[in-house]
Copies of this chain bind each other. A is one copy, B any other.
Amino acid sequence: MSRAARANYREDVAGRANVEDTPELLAYYDQLENLRAGALWTVANKIEPWQPQSSSVPVLWRYQDLRAHVLRSAELVSPEKAGRRVIYLNNPGRKDVAAAVGWLYSGLQTMRPGELASAHAHSASALRFIMEGQGAYTIVDGHKMTLGANDFVLTPNGTWHEHGVSAEGTPCIWQDGLDIPLMNALEANFYVVHPDLQQAVTHPVGDSTAIWGATALHPVGHTWDKGYSPLFKYQWEPTYEALSRYARVTDGSPYDGVIMDYVNPLTGGPVMQTIGASMQMLRPGEHTKAHRHTGSFIYQVAKGQGWSVINGQRFDWRERDIFCVPSWMFHEHANASASEDACLFCFNDLPVMKALGLYREQALAENGGRQAA
């Protein structure tokens, strides 16, 4: 702590630090500071809070607000100069690290027909969720796949990847999700531009889905030792069908309705080591109960309209809107339609929470499990 900022976080609770400043102690603190040290009791209560204190705030980004700006970026900058034309979402509490919530980055990217971005690789795990347009494709380590609205695609940690839109397509917009801020915070972020700026397509188009996209059937003799799913693309239609089928036999989660995780088919675990994803269906009229848990969550409305109450604040949403839930904030979701289901895509850092033993969850006990918005 610099002297100017020296604070003394006292609490009058047994077992907590509660030491009054004295001239002698202040002099002692100065001596410690010169030795690159400090007295724990002056900061203990600050660094050991009673429960998680997220520096992020709940935010809803309306697609109708952002869409025009996203498209305009294609007029303002060239892909060559910009690298990628992306409008990133900037949580007011996380501006210093360019995060949408917690340590998760997200942005809206656009490409025009015939454009393609340069190939590169990085330590951050990445995903795209397609919002609109025809002809988008992604290439991951030589595997090319074509993409449509609500398709979810991975470009995992360490893979060569690039995106493009075919010349026959239309302008496309998708949401990017990455854990760039986490990789920087963990001081483990590497970035490499592909030596040829583009990579060759070395496998049949769509082979990842053809090989790994079957239900409970695995190709014999394909080995895989990566920490991420060999299935790179999760298509919308079978996902929606799966939710619909599951909805017929389940009561669902009281907090999330009918919810399924996208998984690595080889392990049943998360799609990547540091980012998980799910799709959930809120049945007509469904309004879930509130709970909170560790981890940071970014939602995109894939279908329908409704609202969520996050940390006591109501956010109304419709298709393509994006919102976030910071760690340990109560949240509940509601479908505004009495006849149509609503679907929320979500990506999050749950795999980090779980790999490190940090996942905790709590239901709201008061008020019948609903927040007063």
Is the CB–CB distance between B90 and A37 below 8 Å?
A: yes
Whole-angstrom CA separation of A362 from B215 in the bound complex: 30
Which residues does chain B contribute within 8 Å of A216, judged by CB atoms?
212-213, 229, 231, 234, 262-265
Choose among A246, A264, A360 the residue with the greatest number of B CB atoms under 10 Å from its CB.
A246
A68 to chain B: closest residue by CB? B31
A99 to chain B: closest residue by CB? B47
Whole-angstrom CA separation of A2 from B139 in the bound complex: 35
Whole-angstrom CA separation of A17 from B73 in the bound complex: 14
Whole-angstrom CA separation of A16 from B69 in the bound complex: 22
Is the CB–CB distance between B81 and A41 below 8 Å?
A: yes
Whole-angstrom CA separation of A122 from B77 in the bound complex: 49
Tell me which of B92, B219, B326 contacts A246 (CB under 8 A): B219
Tell me which of B37, B214, B265, B327 contacts A66 (CB under 8 A): B37
Is the CB–CB distance between A47 and B180 below 8 Å?
A: yes
Determine, out of A128-136, A166-174, A186-194, A311-319, the stretch whose residues face the partner at the interface: A186-194
**Copy count, this protein chain:** 4
Choose among A47, A72, A227, A262 the residue with the greatest number of B CB atoms under 10 Å from its CB.
A47
Whole-angstrom CA separation of A35 from B108 in the bound complex: 13
Is the CB–CB distance between A48 and B246 below 8 Å?
A: no
Whole-angstrom CA separation of A291 from B89 in the bound complex: 38
Determine, out of A203-211, A282-290, A336-344, A365-373, the stretch whose residues face the partner at the interface: A203-211
Q: Report the minimum CB–CB distance from A285 to chain B (whole Å).
A: 21
Tell me which of B31, B49, B77 contacts A189 (CB under 8 A): B49
Is the CB–CB distance between A73 and B39 below 8 Å?
A: yes
Is the CB–CB distance between B40 and A61 below 8 Å?
A: no
Is the CB–CB distance between B183 and A263 below 8 Å?
A: no
A95 to chain B: closest residue by CB? B1
A192 to chain B: closest residue by CB? B50
Tell me which of B39, B48, B219 contacts A180 (CB under 8 A): B48
A190 to chain B: closest residue by CB? B51
With A188-B327, A189-B52, A249-B210 known as contacts, the answer to whether A356 contacts B273 (CB < 8 A) is yes
Starting from the known contacts A19-B77, A36-B61, A190-B360, 13 additional A-B residue pairs (CB-CB under 8 Å) come to A1-B90, A14-B197, A18-B81, A35-B61, A36-B90, A39-B86, A40-B86, A41-B77, A186-B294, A187-B296, A187-B328, A211-B250, A220-B253
Chain A interface residues toward B at CB < 8 A: 1-2, 13-19, 24-25, 28, 31-33, 35-41, 43-44, 47-55, 59, 61, 65-66, 69, 72-73, 76-77, 81-92, 95, 97-98, 102-103, 105, 107, 118, 120, 122-124, 157, 180-181, 183-194, 197, 203-204, 206-207, 209-221, 227, 229, 231, 234, 238-239, 241-243, 245-246, 248-250, 253, 256, 259-268, 273-274, 278-279, 294-296, 326-328, 352-353, 355-358, 360
